[in-house]
Structure 1
Amino acid sequence: MLIKPVVSVIIPSYNRIKYIEETISSVESQCYRDYEIIVVDDGSTDGSFQLLERFKREGRIKLYTHLNGKNLGQSASINRGIDYSTGSYIAILDSDDYFSLDKLARQVYFLERNPSFGMVYGQGQAVDADGRFLFTIPDDNHIETNDPNNLLLDCYMALPGGSLIRRSVFDKVGRFEESFRAGQDHDMALRIMEEFKVAFLPEIVFYYRKHGDSISTNGLETRWRTGIQVLERAKSRYPYRKSTIRKRKAVINYRLGQVHWCRGQKLRSLGFLIMSGTLDPVRASKVLLGSKS
C-alpha cells in the first residue's frame, strides 16, 4: 500500500468567527486526504475560540493557544503550529481564507516528483466579504525566475495560502520573525528563495478575502516600516544587487509617502516622495506619467 505524505495545515486564528468554519471546511473538502489541521488561537475574544473548542471535541482539528491565552501575533501562532506539526509538508492558511478543492493534491504531486524544490506556490484569487471576485495574483503570464532580487523588489507571490513548503525547509531557514506584525510573509519567502528552488504552478489554489477588517493606514505604515527591516536583514544574508536594494528603498519610501498623504500630512509625505524619486527616477517618472502606481 502506497503511503502518502502528511500535510500539516496550520491556521493562525484571531477573531474570525464569521469565517473560520468555512476556512476549516475548505481543508476538510480537499481531494487529498492525508492532512492534519492545526489551529492556533491568538487570544480571540469574539467567541471563535469556543467554536474551535467544539471542533476539537468533534475531532476535526488540533487546537493550541499561547500561554495564558495571550495575543502574540500571526508569526508566533504559525511558529507554534509548525512546532506541533507532524507532516512532511506545511501549508499555512489565514483564518478568513479558503483553499480550492485540489490545492493540496496538485502541490503535493509536484513536490513529490521534484525533490530539488523546497516550495511550490500557485495563484490566489482575491474576493470581497461576500465571495465576489476582485483580482488574481500573480497573473497567468507570471514566470518564476528563482532570482531573489526579483522577489525582494516585488513580493509577487500570493502568500501564505498559495504555497506548500517542505517541513525540512523551516529546519534550514528558521521560523517566522515574531517581532514583525506585518511583512513576515515577504521576509520568509525571501529566506526560502535564498536557499531553495521554488516553483510556480499557474492555477488558482486559494481565495483570500478583502473586507472591512483590512489593513488601515496605521497598519500600512507598520507594513512599510517593517519593509525597511526586511530589506536590511536581506542585505545582511544575501548578495543582492545594489540596484535592487536602491529600487526597493524607493518603493518603500513611495508607499510611506502615500500613507502620510492619505492622512493629510502633506509635508511629511513630500519628504518620502522626494526620496523615492531620488532613489529611482525612472520609476518616479512613470508614476508621474500615470503608467505605474
Structure 2
Amino acid sequence: MCSFPLVSVIIPNYNHADFLRQRIESVLKQTYSNFEVFLLDDGSTDGSLEILNQYEEYPRVKAVISNGKNTGSVFRQWVKGINLATGKYLWIAESDDFAHETFLEETVKLAEEHDNAGLVFTDSFNIDEHGNVKGKVSERHTLISSIEQEFYWFDDHTKVPDYFIDNMLILNASSVLFDLKKLRERVDLEQLEQYKNTGDQFAYIALYLKHKMIYLNRPLNYRRIHGRNTTALNFENGIIYKERIDIINYFFSALMKFPASKQAFNNYLRQNFLKVTDFGLFQEIEKLLNRFYKAGYLSFQKYLLLKLYTLITRIAPKQHPYKFRYKIKKVLRNK
C-alpha cells in the first residue's frame, strides 16, 4: 500500500448543514480507503462548522479549515483545496451532494488503468432536497444518453466547443475524479478563483484541451437539486451569463481553430444574447461580437444588427420597440 494517500478529498461547504452529515459519511464510508479529507467551510452561519468540527479527529480527516467571513466563491475553496492536496487524484465532493460507497474504488481503478486521462466522471442520480431520486442525469443528457459501454473515452479535442460551450458535458463536479498533477499544470488557478459559478466549466475546458476524459457509465454520484442551489441563484442574478462570456473570451484563441466553434458560438448567441443584454452586460457582449465577427462566425449584417440592438438597449433599455426585439430573435435563429 502507498505510504501517502492516493486520493485527496475536498469538501467545500457553505450553509449546507442540512446535507453535510450525509455528504461526509458517504465519503468516510467509501470501500476504497487510501484517501485524505479536507473539510473547508466558507463562513457558514447555519451551524455547519459545529458539524464539521465533530469530524476533526477522524483518522482520514487531515484538517477542518474555516473562513471567518464568506468569500462569495466556492472556487476560492477549490483552489485552497488544490493547494492543500497531497494525493495523485483529487475529488471535490460538494457539500450538498453525496456518493455511492464504491465511487472512489471504481473511478480510481479507471484512472490508474488510463494514466493519460485528465479526469474520470460518472453518471449521477438527480435527487431533491429530501433525497428522493428523480432519475439519472444520463436519461435526459443528449451527449451521453446513447452511450451503452461501461466506460467511454472522450478524446476528440476538436469537440471542446460542442461539449463545454454549446452544451455542458459534465453537470456536477461531485461526479469527477481529477488527476491532480494535470489539473495544477493546465488550470490557471488565479483565474479559477475569480469565478462564482462557472469555475468547473473553466477547469474542464482547460483540461480537455490537452487531455482525455473517461465517462464511467454508472450512477455513483447523487446530484442534489434544491432551492438554495448556487447555479439557480446565479441564473437569477445574471452572474452565470457574465462568467460564461468570460470563459469564451479566455479560451477564444484556442477554440477558434476548431471547426465546431462556428456552430457552437452561434448557438450560444441564439440562446443567451437577449438575456445578456437584459442583464446589462454590454461591454462583455460587445467584445464577444467583435471577436466573432473578425473570426468569420457572424455575417456583417447580423453583426451590425446585434451591435445596434446592444447600443439601443444600453441607451434606452425600456424604449426600443418590441418589433425590434422580435426581429433580433429571428436574426439569432438564422445560421
Q: Does 1:244 align with 2:264?
A: yes
* Inter-CA distance 158–217: structure 2 relative to 1 (3 Å threshold): closer
Tell me the TM-score normalised to structure 1 length. Answer: 0.83
Q: Indicate conservation of the 8 Å contact 1:182/1:222, yes or no.
A: yes
Alignment of 1:183-194 (within 5 A): 183-194=198-209
- The 2-side partners of 1:138 and 1:257 are apart by 32
C-alpha distance in 2 between matches for 1:272 and 1:42: 42
Unaligned runs of 5+ in 2: 140-144, 281-316
Selected match of 1:148 from 160, 173, 189: 160
Q: Percent identity?
A: 20
Conservation of the 8 A alpha-carbon contact between 1:256 and 1:272: no
1:141-167 superposed Cα distances (whole Å, 9 cap, x missing partner)? 246463212112101213201111111
- 1:223 aligned onto 2:206: no
Please name the residue that 2:117 is paired with: 117
Quote the offset at 1:114 in angstroms: 0.8
Where 1:94 maps in the other structure, the secondary structure is coil
Normalised by the length of structure 2, the TM-score is 0.73
Q: CA deviation at 1:253?
A: 2.4
**In structure 1, what is the equivalent of residue 332 of structure 2?**
279
Asked if 2 retains the 8 angstrom alpha-carbon contact of 1:119 and 1:197, the reply is yes
Deviation at 1:23, TM superposition (A): 0.3
- For residues 174 and 49 of structure 2, the distance between their equivalents in structure 1, rounded to whole angstroms, comes to 21
CA distance in 2, matches of 1:200, 1:122: 6
- 2:250 matched to 1:233? yes
The change in CA–CA distance for 1:257 and 1:101 in structure 2 (over 3 A counts) is farther
* Aligned residue type for 1:141: S
- Partner residue of 1:158 out of 168, 171, 180: 171
Whole-angstrom distance in 2 between the partners of 1:272 and 1:161: 39
Amino acid at match of 1:170: L
Change (3 A) 1:92 1:256: same
Counterpart in 1 of 2:142? none
Q: Are residues 17 and 194 of structure 1, via their aligned partners in 2, closer, same or farther at CA, if it must alter by over 3 Å?
A: same
- 1:188-203 equivalences under 5 Å are 188-203=203-218
Aligned to 1:48: 48
SS in 2 for 1:19: helix
Shift of 1:5: 5.8
Distance 1:86 1:153, change over 3 A: same
Structure 1 SS opposite 2:168: coil
124 and 277 in structure 1: CA distance in 2 versus 1, 3 angstrom threshold:
farther
Per-residue deviation, 1:4? 8.6
Deviation at 1:119, TM superposition (A): 0.9
- What is the SS of the residue equivalent to 1:55? coil
Aligned partner letter, 1:278: V
Q: What is the Cα deviation at residue 228 of structure 1? A: 1.2
Q: CA deviation at 1:3?
A: 6.9
Structure 2 equivalent of residue 126 of structure 1: 126
Q: Within 5 Å, which residues of 2 pair with 1:97-108?
A: 97-108=97-108
CA distance in 2, matches of 1:273, 1:233: 31
Pair 1:243–1:43, CA change in 2 (3 A): same
SS at 2:122's partner residue? strand
Alpha-carbon distance in 2 for matches of 1:48, 1:220: 25
Equivalent in the alignment of 2:65: 64
Query: Which amino acid is 1:205 matched to?
Result: L
1:62-82, Cα deviation, whole Å (9 max, x unpaired) = 21234x444241000011011
User: Contact 1:122 / 1:158 at 8 angstroms: preserved in 2?
Assistant: no
Q: 2:183 aligns with which of 134, 149, 170?
A: 170
The structure with more radius of gyration = 2
Say how many residue pairs are matched: 277
C-alpha distance in structure 1 between counterparts of 2:326 and 2:36, whole Å = 47
Read off the aligned partner of 2:246 and give its amino acid letter: Q
Q: Comparing 109-118 with 50-59, which one deviates more in the overlay?
A: 50-59
Aligned-partner Cα distance in 2 for 1:226–1:218: 11
Residue 56 of structure 2 aligns to a residue in which SS?
A: helix
Deviates more, 1:221-230 or 1:271-280: 271-280
1:287 paired residue number: none
How far has the Cα of 1:218 moved from its partner?
Answer: 5.5
Going from structure 1 to structure 2, the CA distance change for 1:60 and 1:145 (only over 3 Å counts) comes to closer
State the AA in 2 paired with 1:36. Answer: E
Give the partner amino acid of 1:112.
E
Give the stretch that moved more between structures: 83-92 or 148-157. Answer: 148-157
Q: Distance in 1 between matches of 2:84 and 2:138?
A: 31
Residue aligning to 2:302: none
**2:26 matched residue in structure 1:** 26
Is the 1:118–1:198 Cα contact (8 Å) retained in structure 2? yes
